[in-house]
Amino acid sequence: MDLGPHAGFIIGAYLVTAAVVAGLVAWLLVDRARLSAQLKRLEKAQKR
């Protein structure tokens, strides 16, 4: 695939998009894992 003289701009745009979306997904999943662990701990403590 020949992206012409502006290949750097095109590749850069796709890389920025991929990085932002990947960062967003990672943040949501890490947040979920952290909250799940915290909730489990709290629910266990409440049962005692």
Residues found near another protein in the complex (CB under 8 A): 1-7, 9-10, 12-14, 16-17, 20-21, 23-25, 27-29, 31-32, 35-36, 38-39, 42-43, 45-46
Phi, psi of 3 (to 5 degrees): -90, 5
Least CB distance from residue 45 to another protein, whole Å?
A: 7
Token digits for 40? Answer: 């489990």
| 3-class DSSP state of 3 | coil
Least CB distance from residue 22 to another protein, whole Å?
A: 11
CB 10 within 8 A of CB 3: yes
Least CB distance from residue 25 to another protein, whole Å?
A: 7
